[in-house]
Amino acid sequence: MADLTAVQPPLARTRWLGPELAVVVAGVTAALLFPDDLGFITRINILAIFTLSLALVIGQAGIATLGQAAMFGAGSYSAALWAIHITPEPLSGVLIGALVGASVAAASGVLMLRTRGLTLLMLSVAVAQVLLETANKAGSVTGGDDGLADIPVSPILGVFAFDFRGQVGFGYTLAALVLVYFCLRRVVASPFGLTCRGIRADQVRMRAVGAPVFRHLLSVYTLGGAVAGIAGALSAQTTQVVGLNSLGFELSAEGLVMLTIGGVGHLAGALLGVPAFMIIRHVAASINPYHWLLVIGLLLIVTILFLPQGLYGLPEKGRAMVRRRPK
Amino acid sequence: MTLFASIMIDGIAYAMILFMIAVGLSIALGLMHVVNMAHGAFAMLGGFTAVLLMQRAGWRYEFAVPVAVLLTALASVPVERYLISRVYRRPELDQALLTIGVAFVAIALVNLWLGASFVSIAPPPWLSGPVDLGFRSFPRHRLAVILLGFVVSAALWIFIERSRFGVRLRAAVDNAGIAQTVGINTARLYSAAFAIGAGLAALGGIAGAELLPMEANYPVKYLVLFLAVVAVGGQGTLFGTFLAAILLGVIDTAAKYLLPDIASISFYLTMLVVLALRPQGLFGRKEAA
Amino acid sequence: MTERLRLTGVTKSFGGLSVAADINLSLSAGDRTALIGPNGAGKTTLVNLISGALQPSAGDIHLDGLRVNRLDQAARTRAGIARTFQVSRLCRDLTVIENVLLPLIQRHRAAFRMWPASASDHAIRAEAVACLEPLGLAAVAGRRVSELAYGEQRLVEIAIAIALKPRVLLLDEPAAGVPESESGMILDVLARLPRELPILLIEHDMDLVFRFARRVIVLVAGAILFEGTPAEVAANQTIRDIYLGRDGHGAASL
């Protein structure tokens, strides 16, 4: 019988909840160390969820997109409108955000996912831009250029009311992050996840094993849209503000950069890259806004050329370098 | 009638700018199969170099512009050889990310050195002022841009179709492997093609400074425009890029004149429609699976 | 003898260029047929036409009596037509066992299950190992494909095709690019493939052809020039002239 210990079965890997626990510990530690920066940490949680959606769509299935903000913004606006017009109850708002994000992804996916390369990239940008301009023009609904403000949000489960210090917001988004991470880890370990990775590697090969490639791409892109929509909804609820930048190219590009720095091929890359990026930007931007652009630019170049696995791959790179040194 | 003429003249001027800048991107994509998100930086470099030569060194426009174009082309060579060529065989996403990084660095350097404000390039007296075409008068500069665009397109076409360099270029686009076995030094070819593209971008940037103002953020701000032209036209085709530039330029201008409400969407809608119906672009080759 | 695959009048042309002309072919259970021909004769094109990578300009392709012209590549694979590629197309960053899990997941209709399920995953895994063992790949199951020798990679290609439990198997130059030292491995594996599975083998290696095939089809310029036993082919002067007894590793055919 072959030695299968080198090939750990996926379910065993997901039963081990270490990674999720690590996220909780890291989040709580950060909150305890920096109690006045809970808004900043909350933003990190939300962007981490957004970047996880990219880790799924790009890292697992190879769909190179610069338009993921379309689903984030759609989730943001829909959750805001839900809160304003229907009910300020937050959990239903998140569900709405997920559904709308998924719908936008599915609709645009049908258009985009039969294409590849530059065409796919440009279509993703075009979709997000068209949505942005539509939101800009539909001022009566979306607030146009000013966006929506004073979005009402009632206590979570009727008990946890959002406070000025941001503690509830922090806990709320952290819980969401852990839940999303838990679910996505299982998706990655599932047969669906492996099939997506196969598609990322070689679409022709996958057709030759009978895989309905387009249906797979549409499924994973829709799931990614739901996750991005959740992030958008959380953003609307915790900041109580939604603007056109939630649909903007900058957000999509930022997500991509954060994921790259953390490591594209792994979900954990999102969890590493987002705090790294946000902290660097915070520090460098306070000196000079263009300094951080320089740092990020150099970081990107270095990552792509020398550290293709991003921060996630650092320990492995370090081990490889140690091994190469003569004893 | 005046409206139509206005749209055409403004639209084609805009299109010529887009073409001159985007053609280098299209060549890089078709020849080296590399997505260069930093391409706009060459347009920016050309613009700022021209401004520096004119304002700080006191050169005349007529000298500053060609020198700026030349300097940009030369500067692009080490960038291509030592940075961009390292991702030629990597997946598109890696290429896009590396070049975005290069664009960021370019923006930061320009800003740190020259500040974040807009910089204008004042054309010389013989290019300024209005020209009366009977039904309307137009800025002389804009008409000059149209003329320049056509001259550049024609020259480029002749160069690529007739010169020995052009033959080698087209051979390498068709099949790099075979081109190499026939003795074509593809590395030098790539550098040369890249430099030509960068020089043209510089020219387009300088000429288009009225429509696309020079500032540190230039590469990222207008990146989508240039990419759209290449994607819609089909990568690696001169004619495709030209036609796409005209299409997008005229439609965008027409929308601004006729339907200002949807003007901003029209550009992206056009791109969406074309790419949805013809993913390989108007003149692109259908990619084999 | 049950007929599995039938091609009638299959023709393909690109504009004015004809790459397949009125091909009539039949494969039945247990067949061991080799497809030979000079470079550019259209052998891989024919495989592409059968597998669905290309659509015929005219003619019909029937699998188990069903007309499959309308089905795309993935659908034809699911219907039972499996192929390997002349130049290995494997997921290089995935492990050997993961590469074999891909077709199994499709066959078990688990491809859209988005959560791991203990019993089912284990069963599929066990089947993957069972696919690798007869090919001698069980020991490298956990290694990345990019780390394998090219000969082993060619075997993984075959493992993937077999894992599909196909009705018809198309092997496109399985020994191509494999060094002499490793080609014996390939021949061993070919000999041990399921008896009743009809196999169409494209090969330039005449040694392999004569040891493996019971029937040989000679394809020249997109048309079938001759069909017969290996001995008949070897004795045919016209074919000898065209081929000049070549048995080396050929360059890519069309």
| C253 pLDDT tier (thresholds 50, 70, 90) | very low
The CATH 3.40.50.300 domain(s) of chain C lie at 1-80+168-184+198-254
* C-beta of residue A298 within 8 angstroms of C-beta of residue B83: no
| A13 pLDDT tier (thresholds 50, 70, 90) | low
Show residues of chain B in contact with A300, CB under 8 Å. Answer: 97-98, 100-101, 104
Task: Return the pLDDT at A191.
Answer: 94
Nearest CA in chain C to A219: C112
| A4 pLDDT tier (thresholds 50, 70, 90) | very low
pLDDT digits (tens, 9 = 90+) for A228-266: 999 999 999 999 999 999 998 889 989 999 999 999 989
By a Cβ cutoff of 8 Å, what residues of chain A touch chain C?
A: 1-4, 6-7, 9-11, 14, 186-187, 189-195, 197-198, 201-202, 204-213, 215-216, 219, 223
A264 touches chain B (CB under 8 A): yes
* C-beta of residue A273 within 8 angstroms of C-beta of residue A51: yes
Task: Return the pLDDT at C1.
Answer: 58
Alpha helix segments (H runs only) across B208-262: 218-221, 223-233, 238-258
Task: Return the pLDDT at A5.
Answer: 41
Identify the residue with better confidence: A312 or A83: A83
Query: Which range has the worst mean pLDDT, A65-79, B161-175, B266-280?
Result: B161-175
**What is the pTM assigned to this prediction?**
0.90
Q: Check CB contact under 8 Å for A300 and B279.
A: no
Q: In percent, how much of chain A has pLDDT > 70? A: 94
Identify the residue with better confidence: C85 or C243: C85
Is residue A16 pLDDT above 80, yes or no?
Answer: no
Task: Return the pLDDT at C252.
Answer: 31
| C-alpha A264: how far from chain center | 12
- Mean pLDDT over A44-53 rounds to 97
Name C183's Cβ contacts closer than 8 Å, sequence gap at least 6: C151, C175, C205, C208
Burial category of C5 from C-beta neighbours within 10 Å (exposed 0-12, middle 13-18, buried 19 and up)? buried
- Mean pLDDT over B279-283 rounds to 85
pLDDT digits (tens, 9 = 90+) for B10-50: 999 999 999 999 998 988 888 888 889 999 999 999 999 99
pLDDT digits (tens, 9 = 90+) for A264-323: 989 999 999 999 999 988 888 788 777 788 888 998 999 999 888 888 888 877 777 777
H/E stretch holding A111 reads: helix A90-112
CA-based nearest residue to C93, from C132, C140, C146, C137: C146
The set of chains that have 3 or more CB pairs under 8 A with B is A
> What Cα–Cα distance (Å) separates residue C246 from each residue in A146, A150, B123, B238, C218?
76, 81, 71, 44, 14
A110 touches chain B (CB under 8 A): no
- Mean pLDDT over C112-116 rounds to 92
| C117 pLDDT tier (thresholds 50, 70, 90) | confident
Complex ipTM, two decimals?
0.89
Identify the residue with better confidence: B199 or A15: B199
pLDDT digits (tens, 9 = 90+) for B243-260: 999 999 999 999 888 888
Is residue A129 pLDDT above 70, yes or no?
Answer: yes
Annotated domain spans of chain A: 10-248
pLDDT digits (tens, 9 = 90+) for B42-51: 999 999 999 8
What's the CATH class of domain B2-277? Answer: mainly alpha
C194 touches chain A (CB under 8 A): no
Task: Return the pLDDT at A53.
Answer: 97
For B49, the 3-state DSSP assignment is helix
CA-based nearest residue to A192, from A164, A220, A225: A220
B258 touches chain A (CB under 8 A): no
Task: Return the pLDDT at A2.
Answer: 43
Task: Return the pLDDT at A9.
Answer: 55
Task: Return the pLDDT at B286.
Answer: 67
| C251 pLDDT tier (thresholds 50, 70, 90) | very low
For C23, the 3-state DSSP assignment is strand
CATH superfamily, region C1-80+168-184+198-254 = P-loop containing nucleotide triphosphate hydrolases (3.40.50.300)
